[in-house]
Amino acid sequence: QVQLVESGGGLVQAGGSLRLSCAASEPTFGDYTVGWFRQAPGKDREFVAGISYRDQSTYYEDSVEGRFTISRDNAKNTVYLKMNNLNPENTAVYYCASREKFRFVISSNPRNYDSWGQGTQVTVSS
């Protein structure tokens, strides 16, 4: 079971930026498909962005397309989520999740991921 640790969250004003990191204990983390999810109070966990291990393709939820960028540094066993032009609707706990050698390109369904981090809080003030 891979251990995932998110970091980089915090409090920012609307229009600001943050970069989240997801550090993995697994030295072969490049063989894992990784997704970022977020959950706001009273709402379901929502897919934000994902990156495939198979072809390195990236995928985004519609509302963050063009503002958020997911990337990875396999040498550091780390996946990043760069978030630009944040707004208060982006306030949530952000989680990274992974699935080793996922057979499909990507999935927005949380049930397809079997390892999760503890989450990092992102708060955007107006």
For residue 1, the model assigns a pLDDT of: 76
Rounded Cα–Cα distance for residues 9 and 114 (Å)? 23
User: pLDDT by residue (tens digit) across 103-114?
Assistant: 998 999 999 999
**If you average pLDDT over residues 92-97, what whole number do you get?**
98
Q: What are residue 64's phi and psi, to 5 degrees?
A: -105, -5
Average pLDDT, the chain: 96
Query: For the chain, what's the residue count?
Result: 126
Contact 4, 97 (CB under 8 A): yes
Nearest to 28 by CA among 104, 82, 114, 101: 101
Residue 55 confidence class, pLDDT cut points 50, 70, 90: confident
For residue 105, the model assigns a pLDDT of: 87
Within a 10 A sphere around the Cβ of 53, how many other Cβ atoms? 22
